[in-house]
């Protein structure tokens, strides 16, 4: 099980981005998907999940790595609003 990686928007990583821009300056970037398209996409994504992740059980946990740039940014924000790190 490879897991996911949280990066900044301008970082280039292997894999498929899980979050896609959908609005810019108050305008849609693409037409909304039909219900059939959403059902097909979700079915494909579910097929790609490792078996342990298809269960409603909490174990094993899914591996997610946070890139150093995101960690640094979070620390900067925390310091700016006086949250101890």
Asked if 23 and 29 count as a contact pair (C-beta separation under 8 A), the reply is yes
Q: What are the sequence ranges of the domains in the chain?
A: 4-11+22-80
Helix or strand or coil: residue 29?
coil
* pLDDT of the residue at 30: 93
CA gap 26, 22 in Å, rounded: 10
Q: What angle do CA 65, 51, 7 make, to 5 degrees?
A: 20
Q: What does each of the 85 residues of the chain score in pLDDT, given as a tens digit?
A: 578 899 998 888 888 888 888 999 999 999 999 999 999 999 998 898 888 888 877 677 888 999 999 999 999 998 888 777 6
The candidate with the shortest Cα–Cα distance to 4, out of 17, 39, 36, 75, is 17
pTM comes to: 0.62
Q: What angle do CA 40, 3, 11 make, to 5 degrees?
A: 90
């Amino acid at each position: 099980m490879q897991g996911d990686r949280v990066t900044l928007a301008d970082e280039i990583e292997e894999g498929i981005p899980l979050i896609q821009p959908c609005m810019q300056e108050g305008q849609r970037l693409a037409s909304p998907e039909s219900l059939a398209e959403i059902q097909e996409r979700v079915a494909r994504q579910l097929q790609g999940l490792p078996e342990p992740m298809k269960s409603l059980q909490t174990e094993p946990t899914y591996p997610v790595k946070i890139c150093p740039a995101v960690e640094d940014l979070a620390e900067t924000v925390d310091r700016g609003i006086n949250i101890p790190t």
